[in-house]
Structure 1
Amino acid sequence: MNFKELGISTNIIDILNKSGIKDPTDIQRESIPYIKDGKDLIAEAQTGTGKTLAFLLPIFENINPNLDATQVLILTPTRELAIQITNEASKLAESVNINILAAYGGKDIGSQLNKLKGSIHLIIATPGRLLDHLERKSINLSKLKTFVLDEADQMLLMGFKNEVENIIKHTPKNHQTLCFSATMDSSVKKLAYRYMKDPIVVSVKKESITLSTINQEIVETTDRLKQDSLFKALEEDNPFMAIIFCRTKRRADALEMAMGKRKFNCEKIHSDVPQNKRERIMKSFRNADIQYLIATDVAARGIDISGITHIYNYDIPESPESYIHRIGRTARAGESGYTCCFMDPKDTYLLEKIEEKIGFKISRRNIDLV
């Protein structure tokens, strides 16, 4: 089934074609007809499956540009994801007269307030900044038609449950609710079902595709030797573009400093890095001006950049799902990828859980530090 058969307008299909998007992905084929039809939907789909367009395309078909009211709200947990969705939506808006507002922390609220004096059809926001606008009464959701909760699992993980519930109180009773999540555990389902009417559930798994095209290795080391092991691996591999994941902001800071001293071309992103700087770094990384991006899980959420050839888990992830999220940022669009995880003996239990989840034992890589 192609985009035309899914009911997407010719002018929007032309924009997709210009971006090299010819055929819908599985999540788009599954979701678009239901969303266009006004149904509530729970969708389980990881980053990289095309989920953003799965909700944006039908939303753009359903928005009435002549109605002077906010008709769609997309709520997302991180600024990076809000920026990414805004970029996608802005491309589509070129074909139709739809006004978009991105409302997230770290961006000047004055400029957002000025923009709100005009007609805004679609708002893409993070919870804190949106509540700020709702309290100022600068945003009115009384005519809202569609509410999208994106990355619902991450929203709950980051402790936004109360904020989400507070935001929903400002919306009319009979709106369409779309819930997109990479994992569909009981807490996500509970939140979704509480605010939905007879939702359709669609699920698109990406793990098998991802894992079959990614060469995964483990380096058994100690915390003391981990840095030297990583540096040796980077020198041996010399990847085109790589993300290096750290467990905490402090460890990311320390690693960036050490890599800088060794003249590696690197930058770090985490929640303490100012928003305008993060945007600059992400733009440089997207343009391949930076070889190594050092990131924490939260800051890297939603990064979907083609060209990432290597993922290094400097610190082993806390869960198998997080491991799959991380390594899924390589091997995009049918390309192959490489991932390497540095493991301290105390991480054995976490590694066993990961291997159990993916269904095989990850091969070991020997790094000779002599």
Structure 2
Amino acid sequence: MIQRRFSVEEFRKLGLSEAMLATIARKGFSEPTPVQKAIIPFLLTGSSDVVAQAETGTGKTAAFGIPILEQMGTPDGRVKTLVLVPTRELAVQVAGEIRSFRGSRKVEILSVYGGQPFGVQRSAIKGGADIVVGTTGRILDHLEKGTLRLDNLSCLVLDEADEMLDMGFIDDIRTILEHTPEKRRTMLFSATMPREVISIARRYMKAYETITTVPLNKSQQLTDQVYLEVREQDKFEALCRIIDMEPEFYGLVFCRTRVETAEIAECLIKRGYGALAMHGEIEQRDREHIMRRLRSRQITILVATDVAARGIDVSDLTHVINYDPPQDPDSYLHRIGRTGRAGKKGTAITLVTPGTQRSLDLIRRTTGKAMRRGTIPGAREIIASKRARIAETITRGIQKQDFAQYSVLAAELLERADPLTVLAACLHNSYGDELNPGIYKEIRTASPTKECTTHSRRFTPRGRPRPANAKTLHKHGKTPKKGSRP
């Protein structure tokens, strides 16, 4: 058996140790990302603070995690590095990524966040931790209770600083910074550089270098940005048509409120889609379960609010759907930045109603993004696409010749009816109403250019369901057979 060997020569040029290169090879990496090329040598060869503009999903964690591990002395269980992140999901993700690079090093890496029992975290910290990754609130709790000491801290990382400030964590950050030694190295990473982020850098960091690794709009160049004009009461129907038109749909649907998020997810489940909701009232254990199901593609649609989705990093998302346009341009860029990554194309679709036209206009003016106007897929167009996909699937099955166990039954069925009737019955049994255009409600033409309405009506198909909770969503979370529509 030939085992594939990964060349790490490009990583070798960054000045990494042989042990780290071996770890990188085992992970299957052959070439550093632009972020890693810019930041790793700087952190390895210098000692000054750094402010880096880098987006999520660009290899940023490895860019600071690898140098931290390379420069760490003999581990002694006292916290040497603290990484602050905006969300619980990101704390788990960043800690796991750094842990994957430690190799044979006896470095203890701990994630600390709200939703976990405080006593369990206290025991883990007491048992020794060299690197702690945590959310600001829970880190502050441990500092105030004396269960976490930062006397030996040599490195502080503020990851996704703009997100932390947007979420109102500025006071927590300042308090935590007051608990850290003056002689420390500080690294600040942010996708955007608003004044508040620069203010933190100027006040709490020594003379620092600024590194802009990739222009903010770089990933959006691979994202096809579309807006669809639709009436408020037709938005859900439009969403279903978008999903049905894409055979490999794997994406995020953004809503403005917790209630709407739960309702849309429940309605999608009732229509046969593998979907779940993510909002602020879902407990941490359930959030982790939802994310595992999304990453393993047990579900392919996550309906979320902006706050709940912060820190979520899922590879290979094909779509971002703005069910409601965000309130500000930065939120729009953060949303659509979750697709079109790692050289892969993505699609970002914004549903715009007469009541949200002004929000879209502001986003387009401020970001300078060239959004094209799209059209909502028609029922006949969707049915034609589905028919072609079904035919392709069956043709592949015929070519594989892996249906011998059904040959006897097929012969029996052909004795009872003609081949066309038998095949049509089999298709209906497998695909239900998938090819029935009647499952799609009529969508009337919208006119967003008219004067904006002062309020909007939320449309929920076939009656208003009760707001869904995590238990309800998990109960329905299995992907039903598509076509079993109400």
TM-score category of the 2 structures, normalised to the smaller one: over 0.9
Distance 1:147 1:99 in 2: 16
Does residue 315 (structure 1) correspond to residue 324 (structure 2)? The answer is: yes
Q: Secondary structure at the match of 1:278?
A: helix
Q: Secondary structure at the match of 1:2?
A: helix
Out of 15, 22, 33, the position equivalent to 2:23 is 15
Distance 2:344 2:147 in 1: 45
2:85 touches 2:160 (CA, 8 Å); kept in 1? yes
Out of 12, 19, 25, the position equivalent to 2:33 is 25
1:149 touches 1:178 (CA, 8 Å); kept in 2? yes
Out of 127, 139, 158, the position equivalent to 2:148 is 139
Distance 1:263 1:52 in 2: 37
Q: Deviations over 1:317-366 (max 9, x none)?
A: 22222222212212222121122111112222222233231442423223
Does residue 82 (structure 1) correspond to residue 84 (structure 2)? The answer is: no
Distance 2:25 2:231 in 1: 49
Q: Secondary structure at the match of 2:320?
A: strand
Q: Secondary structure at the match of 1:288?
A: coil
TM-score, structure 1 normalization: 0.95
Name stretches of at least 5 consecutive residues in structure 1 with no aligned partner: none
Query: 1:365 corresponds to which residue?
Result: 375
Q: Deviations over 1:72-103 (max 9, x none)?
A: 00001110111110110121223311011111
Distance 2:85 2:160 in 1: 6
Distance 1:305 1:18 in 2: 22
Query: 1:91 corresponds to which residue?
Result: 100
Larger radius of gyration: 2
Does residue 296 (structure 1) correspond to residue 305 (structure 2)? The answer is: yes
Distance 1:152 1:83 in 2: 17
Q: Deviations over 1:174-225 (max 9, x none)?
A: 1011111110011110011101111100112354432332222211112222
- Could you tell me how far 1:53 is from its partner in structure 2? 1.1
Name stretches of at least 5 consecutive residues in structure 2 with no aligned partner: 1-8, 379-440, 443-486
Out of 316, 324, 343, the position equivalent to 1:334 is 343
- Could you tell me how far 1:265 is from its partner in structure 2? 0.7
**In the superposition, relative to structure 1, how do residues 161 and 171 fare at CA in structure 2: closer, same or farther (>3 Å)?**
same
Query: 2:246 corresponds to which residue?
Result: 237
Q: Deviations over 1:134-162 (max 9, x none)?
A: 11211110110000011111111111111
Q: Which amino acid aligns with 2:200?
A: L
Distance 1:15 1:294 in 2: 36
Does residue 213 (structure 1) correspond to residue 219 (structure 2)? The answer is: no
Q: Secondary structure at the match of 2:350?
A: strand
Distance 2:235 2:304 in 1: 17
Does residue 59 (structure 1) correspond to residue 68 (structure 2)? The answer is: yes
**In the superposition, relative to structure 1, how do residues 114 and 361 fare at CA in structure 2: closer, same or farther (>3 Å)?**
closer
Out of 121, 124, 128, the position equivalent to 2:133 is 124
Q: Which amino acid aligns with 1:25?
A: T
**In the superposition, relative to structure 1, how do residues 358 and 23 fare at CA in structure 2: closer, same or farther (>3 Å)?**
farther
Q: Deviations over 1:275-319 (max 9, x none)?
A: 011111111111111111111122222322222112111111222
1:242 touches 1:293 (CA, 8 Å); kept in 2? yes
Distance 1:288 1:140 in 2: 40
1:93 touches 1:99 (CA, 8 Å); kept in 2? no
**In the superposition, relative to structure 1, how do residues 297 and 96 fare at CA in structure 2: closer, same or farther (>3 Å)?**
same
**In the superposition, relative to structure 1, how do residues 109 and 351 fare at CA in structure 2: closer, same or farther (>3 Å)?**
same
- Could you tell me how far 1:33 is from its partner in structure 2? 2.5
Higher alpha-carbon deviation: 177-186 or 64-73: 64-73
Does residue 2 (structure 1) correspond to residue 10 (structure 2)? The answer is: yes
Out of 243, 250, 256, the position equivalent to 1:247 is 256
Q: Secondary structure at the match of 2:114?
A: coil
Q: Which amino acid aligns with 1:365?
A: T
- Identical columns (%): 36
2:225 touches 2:371 (CA, 8 Å); kept in 1? no
Query: 1:267 corresponds to which residue?
Result: 276
Distance 2:169 2:362 in 1: 27
Distance 1:338 1:83 in 2: 28
Distance 2:33 2:237 in 1: 41
Q: Which amino acid aligns with 1:27?
A: V
Q: Secondary structure at the match of 2:342?
A: helix
2:19 touches 2:103 (CA, 8 Å); kept in 1? no
Distance 2:131 2:180 in 1: 14
TM-score, structure 2 normalization: 0.73
Distance 2:33 2:368 in 1: 23
Q: Secondary structure at the match of 1:93?
A: coil
Q: Secondary structure at the match of 1:293?
A: strand
Higher alpha-carbon deviation: 298-307 or 264-273: 298-307
Distance 1:76 1:181 in 2: 11
Q: Secondary structure at the match of 1:217?
A: strand
Q: Secondary structure at the match of 2:180?
A: coil
1:247 touches 1:315 (CA, 8 Å); kept in 2? yes
Superposition CA RMSD, Å? 1.7
Does residue 282 (structure 1) correspond to residue 282 (structure 2)? The answer is: no
Distance 1:216 1:155 in 2: 27
1:80 touches 1:299 (CA, 8 Å); kept in 2? no
Distance 1:9 1:317 in 2: 45
Higher alpha-carbon deviation: 245-254 or 121-130: 245-254
Q: Which amino acid aligns with 2:289?
A: R
Query: 1:34 corresponds to which residue?
Result: 42
Distance 1:261 1:24 in 2: 44
Distance 1:353 1:232 in 2: 27
- Could you tell me how far 1:43 is from its partner in structure 2? 0.6
- Could you tell me how far 1:237 is from its partner in structure 2? 2.1
**In the superposition, relative to structure 1, how do residues 16 and 249 fare at CA in structure 2: closer, same or farther (>3 Å)?**
farther
The alignment covers a number of residue pairs equal to 370
Distance 1:209 1:307 in 2: 17
Q: Secondary structure at the match of 2:164?
A: helix
Q: Which amino acid aligns with 2:99?
A: S
Query: 2:470 corresponds to which residue?
Result: none
